[in-house]
């Protein structure tokens, strides 16, 4: 896949499910990054194809060949999976990734779009998930609705 392209929703979720299983077997974590635009609080907007190209190009600038990008929800939520995170303290990785990606996307997208930009970073395995009893399915479950206001 060219570094300027993105997987469609079906392919992206397929690769996400594979990565989740690989992570569970190996014990090696990964990060799921989701980006959407809000029209108003709690309501996601369609992402224009021209904006999507800039968004995916911006994501690719900070990803490696082992990472992948695509639509988590077609034309509404862009996603990236960062694998093989190395030896950095994993607690800090999601925060640092989120900060860096927010900055890059705000610089590369038109200002009216950048103001509505929402970046969510999830880590897998999710801390405190086992036995939490919350009843909520994890965001990394490809069949679950998205949590944290992206629905």
pTM over 0.85: no
Q: Is 33 within a domain?
A: yes
Q: Is 144 within a domain?
A: no
Give pLDDT, residue 4: 57
Q: pLDDT band at residue 134, thresholds of 50, 70 and 90?
A: very low
41, HSE (Cβ side, Cα atoms, 13 Å): 0
pLDDT digits over 78-124, tens only?
999 988 766 555 667 778 888 888 888 888 888 988 888 889 988 88
Q: Are 90 and 29 in contact (CB under 8 A)?
A: yes
DSSP β-ladder status, 68-73 and 43-44: unpaired
Give pLDDT, residue 88: 56
Residue-range definition of the domain harbouring residue 76 = 9-124
Q: Is 142 within a domain?
A: no
Tally helices (H) and strands (E) across the chain.
4, 5
Q: Is 151 within a domain?
A: no
Q: Is 97 within a domain?
A: yes
Give pLDDT, residue 89: 58
pLDDT digits over 47-78, tens only?
999 999 999 988 887 778 788 999 999 999 99
Q: Is 50 within a domain?
A: yes
- If one counts the domains in the chain, the total is 1
Closest-CA residue to 122 (of 144, 148, 84): 148
For residue 129, the SS3 value is coil
Residue 125 has pLDDT above 90, yes or no: no
Identify the CATH number of the domain in which residue 14 sits.
3.30.70.270
Q: Is 49 within a domain?
A: yes
Q: Is 2 within a domain?
A: no
33-49: average pLDDT: 80
Residues 66, 36: Cα–Cα separation, whole Å? 23
- 15 vs 26, more confident: 15
- 59 vs 151, more confident: 59
Give pLDDT, residue 65: 79
Give pLDDT, residue 21: 93
Torsion angle (degrees, nearest 10) of CA 39, 41, 47, 50: 60
Query: At CB < 8 A and 24+ separation, what contacts does 105-110 make?
Result: 105/35, 105/55, 105/58, 105/59, 108/54, 108/55, 108/57, 108/58, 109/51, 109/54, 109/55, 109/58, 110/51
Q: Are 37 and 47 in contact (CB under 8 A)?
A: yes
26-47: average pLDDT: 81
């Amino acid at each position: 896949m060219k570094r300027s392209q993105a997987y469609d929703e079906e392919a992206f979720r397929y690769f996400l499910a594979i990565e989740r299983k690989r992570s569970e077997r190996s014990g090696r974590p990964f990060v799921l990054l989701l980006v959407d635009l809000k029209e108003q609080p709690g309501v996601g907007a369609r992402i224009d194809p021209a904006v999507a190209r800039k968004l995916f190009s911006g994501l690719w600038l900070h990803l490696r060949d082992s990472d992948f990008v695509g639509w988590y929800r077609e034309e509404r939520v862009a996603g990236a999976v960062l694998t093989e995170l190395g030896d950095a303290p994993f607690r800090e990785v999601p925060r640092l990734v989120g900060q860096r990606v927010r900055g890059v996307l705000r610089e590369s997208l038109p200002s009216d779009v950048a103001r509505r930009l929402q970046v969510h970073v999830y880590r897998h395995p999710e801390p405190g998930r086992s036995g939490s009893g919350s009843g909520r399915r994890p965001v990394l479950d490809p069949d679950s609705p998205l949590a944290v206001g992206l629905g």
